[in-house]
Amino acid sequence: MDPASRLNVLKHIYSVYETFAATVPSACRRGCAHCCTRNVTLTTLEGCHIVSHLSAIREADLFDRLSFALERRRFQPRITTNELADICLQGQDPPQEETESGETRCPLLEKEECAIYPVRPFHCRCMTSRTDCGETGCADMDPFVMTVNTVFLQYIEHIDASGFSGNLIDAVLFLQPEENRRRCTSGAPVARPPGLIPNRRVSALMIPPKHRQRIAPLLQKLNASP
Ligand code: SF4
Ligand code: SF4
């Protein structure tokens, strides 16, 4: 698939999810940003989508903020979603991920609003809670929504199988030079960038039996051509 087609598929996936998300009851509202932390992850294709948007706005300022955040602790995943699916398929235990907590405000948050909202990665789009996290201290996500989110993450990784995943800060800074973006979007072999992990194709979708029937219409929409 050529770079433009992959970007179109990514936008199609975002669009299908947006329609689904509009049907999910949630306490989320504009200006509520407890979930906007330095621990957000994404694929390099999503990162390229973000950087192409940054070029048109305050690119230098936002890159400066990301560079500053590089000095701070953040979640850096050790396995991707499709790798986790493969490990589960083989009946093995996945490695323990190191979680980050404490004061971890996302560097792209401005006055409780996202500076890159139209191109924010899927991990930000799929974050939702049935109760106000500010009051309860954590998100309360519907189990079916969690299944849908996992499947969408698997699709997003699949279409970028020659790319990488990782923390937003590491990925977007790696993609700052145009040459790195060109190499990542062209599907050409790229040496593993610092802090990022290689993506994989989907072997099996992680859908519990109780959600298979309910998720079927969404899969049909995902598989339809953009
Ligand atoms: S997930 Fe929680 S913190 Fe994020 S917008 Fe929804 S209610 Fe607010
Ligand atoms: S990228 Fe935007 S939506 Fe995502 S965590 Fe940062 S500020 Fe929030």
The domain tally of the chain equals 1
Going from the Cα of 150 to the center of ligand 2, the distance in angstroms, rounded, reads 19
How far apart are alpha carbons 62 and 123 in whole angstroms? 19
Going from the Cα of 148 to the center of ligand 1, the distance in angstroms, rounded, reads 18
Bridge partners, 166 (sequence order): 42
* Tokens read off for 167: 């923390």
Tens digit of pLDDT at every position of the chain (226 positions) = 777 788 999 999 999 999 999 999 999 998 899 999 999 999 999 999 999 888 665 778 889 999 999 888 899 999 999 999 999 999 988 888 877 665 689 999 998 999 999 999 999 999 999 999 888 888 999 999 999 999 999 999 999 999 999 999 999 999 999 999 988 888 777 788 989 999 999 999 999 999 999 999 999 999 987 7
Residues 129/140, Cβ–Cβ less than 8 Å: yes
Query: Which range marks the domain in which residue 140 is found?
Result: 3-223
Residues 192/164, Cβ–Cβ less than 8 Å: yes
Q: Which pTM value belongs to this model?
A: 0.94
Which residues, judged by CB distance below 6 Å to any ligand atom, belong to the binding site of ligand 1?
27-28, 32, 34-35, 127-129, 132-133, 139
Ligand with minimal distance to 122 CA = 2
* Tokens read off for 9: 């598929």
Positive or negative, the CA dihedral 206, 2, 199, 169 is negative
